[in-house]
Chain A
């Protein structure tokens, strides 16, 4: 798979994560880990660049806040255009999966 697709998948996961509630970076990592039942582990090295990139594109916005343990952390939340992007990404991922499955079934 070309690099682009991998990046797109990460974006999708992050957007979906933030769709339910705002989270900081660490929280996003934990959520994806838990929700995928430990099948997916996000590289911190690629998460933060992705988060900042998505923020530049206007899909998410950030603000500093206190965690439950009273630590300062940068929380991210989804914007309206982010929500739109999430729908698009979900759709294209569905198509990707369908296509791969079809090729695999074809033997």
Chain B
């Protein structure tokens, strides 16, 4: 109504002016008419009328003023005035704007990342109904993947799932399409793609009958289609050789399709083939938990019901296992979405908390700045009030100033957020899924902006409103330039500074713990020497390598020829290499082992090795001997080398050399005995911050002989080995020669995963490096903000007490005492803040536990160094105002009052 009219009047300015002029003119005309009627002549009538009316121009202005009390002109004027005020105190303006920008930008960027990674739904149909099934063995390992027969069984017998799909990794040598390469593939049941609701972009998915009949069909990934097949539009129906057998290409997946979603690596697959369970797999013993299983919940079925269902099905499986194995199966069902972010959750939550704290600190800093500034303008407000300025005007101008600050800070913050988001998307480690979907999340920005803007407005206005109430006399009585504030205002500012220091302490402790964890990780002995070692993976296809003998012969020849290369110091091969992750957990029964926890078997990570593996990796020999060429002969006695922790586990307190064991979990099985011939140092099978597993090494040619003779024929062949080459110089140099050697042996073979061990090790450190770096970055920002806070409070208190200090110095206090006094005040503030921060750290750092390695959440070294750092920094922050105070010339100060 009245307000709308005023706002509307802003824009109808021209129209309004014309209307007012017309109205006044009409008035004058009417008066002229009357004058004419009274008998004056036209000239006379007009003159008298104008005289009686008064000054039309002035009247017009007054009328216009009455119409629109909120004028665009005024707003523009206020803005210019505000800008001038800010320019006059650049230090204040800059600090305020930077504080705002950092707070808003930081929290927007982090929360956008959090949103994209943690909350972004998976790109499948109704992803919240997708779950992953797990099966495990009690006391042995946590629920992980399933054995193949169980995937088939659960798909058939379940009552809570619309469908169950299985998947397992595979590798194929791809040829017949340009240069042969090793493709990372996944075998998937036909039910998977329909369940996910994903269709190939070209062609079609395979049918259940193709899956059941092991049809040689394949679906390729979009990336493979582009890079290896030149985006051939007619690719559907053509054939390609996988492991030298022809497969028909049925379809091409859409760009960006990822399956499976692994939480440790970028899951990059080139091909998907039908699962086509072999008869071996269908009859597998229950000790090969390798097959992933995903299911879609039936409508109305809850997670709890699904868990129950799975538990009952698993119980049925367990009932079929002979009890003397002592195996108890466990199971679990997890939401797929939850799983894919599990790894990322602790870090991102920590970061979100950290940015929340920084936002708080930014607000506190801003509040401090504005309060100080307002206190200094008391006099100005008093005088303006005395001169007749309407309260509204003054308040409006202050509002404009605060809004201007907020707007500039917000704009800068947006820019900062965009830059940070861009950096994050580029540098995030692979352990964070969906990092390419990170973009600025506008609701977060608005919240951050709103919060800081609100702080700006409240802290900018509050003192102004308060000061308007103080009498004019009081305002004028204050000495010019003095900025004495009330006691409560001082207390408020000190509290703000203490709060900031507490928050900074908390962040510094958190990041300090991470830094120490990272350092500990770097110092961890991996158990081998990673320098100068080149590794490459090789898989032999069925075509041309039907028997284990032919496989062993090729690898043997490869190692022999590689050993003769000039660069090679030693070379060996193994089914797995350290750091990359355990791939092969096996059970064994040591002879004479007394059952513990109700089971008679021990489990260890198991590598089959060939050639000079131990020397190539420089794993230290503790006792006995390494595996050697003699053990690779076809009839050599079955031997093994174990690690120290395996020895301690299987034969505690006894010398393990000469002891014997059987593979498998059954103490009464008919499997052949294996003799221990050596003990070596432990190696880290996973990343350096993961725990060490007991390790066992057996000669590669003896792999199948560990089973009963009757069973040996039905075991698949071991085809893949990692070649490990210890080079005399730079390990990257022998790469070409190694590839050439392989080519000469068989032109269709291709090495893959060629890395130096150094890069493998540092790749596993990448995610921890990122975590530490980011949190430390935040802590540094927090420290800077806290120091600004201290500086602000100290500087202000010094400038307030200028007279007091001058008097003291005139009365005989020397400069040093003044300096120390100020510093003592600064230290007092810091001490209080640090204590509060440490108390908070004691409560909150336990949430970081999952990110720590080798340090406790209350690590004494970290806490001490943080405290020392803060004290030192606060002394530095307080030094500048302290120096200024002690540098005062008392006479000049007192005289100038």
Contacts and interface: CB of A to CB of B under 8 A. Distances in A.
Given A67-B30, A69-B33, A71-B30, A48 B6 contact: no
A44 B5 contact: no
B5 A56 contact: yes
Contact of B31 (A26, A48, A49): A26
A56 B6 contact: yes
Contacts of A57: 2
B713 interface: no
Interface in B12-39: 19-20, 22-24, 26-27, 29-31, 33
Contacts of A73: 23, 26-27, 30
21 contacts: A26-B27, A44-B59, A45-B55, A48-B20, A48-B24, A48-B63, A51-B63, A52-B20, A52-B66, A52-B67, A56-B2, A56-B66, A58-B1, A58-B2, A67-B30, A72-B22, A72-B26, A73-B27, A74-B19, A74-B22, A74-B23
B59 A49 contact: yes
A43 B20 CA distance: 17
A49 B62 contact: yes
B52 interface: yes
Given A52-B67, A56-B67, A45 B27 contact: no
Interface in B199-231: none
Interface string A38-67: 000001111011111100111000000001
B53 interface: yes
Interface in A1-60: 24-27, 43-46, 48-53, 56-58
Interface of B: 1-2, 5-6, 19-20, 22-24, 26-27, 29-31, 33, 52-55, 58-59, 62-63, 65-67
A74 B18 CA distance: 13
B552 to A, nearest CB: 100
Chain B's interface: helix, strand, loop or mixed, by majority?
helix
Given A49-B62, A53-B66, A44 B2 contact: no
A83 B20 CA distance: 25
Nearest to A28: B27
B45 to A, nearest CB: 14
A67 B20 CA distance: 18
A13 to B, nearest CB: 17
A48 B62 contact: yes
Given A26-B30, A52-B66, A43 B23 contact: no
A45 B33 contact: no
Nearest to A67: B30
A57 B55 CA distance: 25
Contacts of B22: 72, 74
Contact of A45 (B31, B62, B65): B62
B865 to A, nearest CB: 66
Contacts of B30: 24, 26-27, 67, 69, 71, 73
A74 B63 CA distance: 14
Contacts of B59: 44-45, 48-49
B54 A48 contact: no
A57 B5 CA distance: 10
B46 to A, nearest CB: 15
B759 to A, nearest CB: 76
B53 A44 contact: yes
B77 to A, nearest CB: 21
A44 to B, nearest CB: 5
B65 A49 contact: yes
B54 A45 contact: yes
Nearest to A29: B27
B52 A74 contact: no
A24 B26 contact: yes
Contacts of A24: 26-27, 30
A82 B27 CA distance: 23
Contacts of B65: 49
Contacts of A43: 54
B10 to A, nearest CB: 13
A67 to B, nearest CB: 7
Contacts of A72: 22, 26
A71 B23 contact: no
A43 B58 CA distance: 13
A70 to B, nearest CB: 11
Interface in A54-99: 56-58, 67, 69, 71-74
A25 B59 CA distance: 13
A53 B33 CA distance: 28
Chain A CB count within 10 A is highest, among B5, B52, B62, for B62
A57 B65 CA distance: 14
Chain B CB count within 10 A is highest, among A24, A43, A48, A50, for A48
Contacts of B2: 56-58
B65 to A, nearest CB: 7
Given A56-B5, A72-B22, A73-B30, 16 more contacts: A24-B27, A25-B23, A43-B54, A44-B27, A44-B53, A44-B59, A45-B54, A45-B58, A49-B63, A50-B66, A52-B63, A52-B66, A53-B66, A71-B26, A71-B33, A73-B27
Nearest to A62: B23
Contacts of A50: 66
Contacts of A46: 62
Contact of A74 (B26, B54, B55, B67): B26
A3 B53 CA distance: 22
Kindly list the 10 A-B residue pairs having the minimum CB-CB distance in the complex, ordered from nearest.
A49-B62, A53-B66, A26-B30, A52-B66, A49-B66, A73-B26, A45-B54, A74-B23, A26-B27, A48-B63
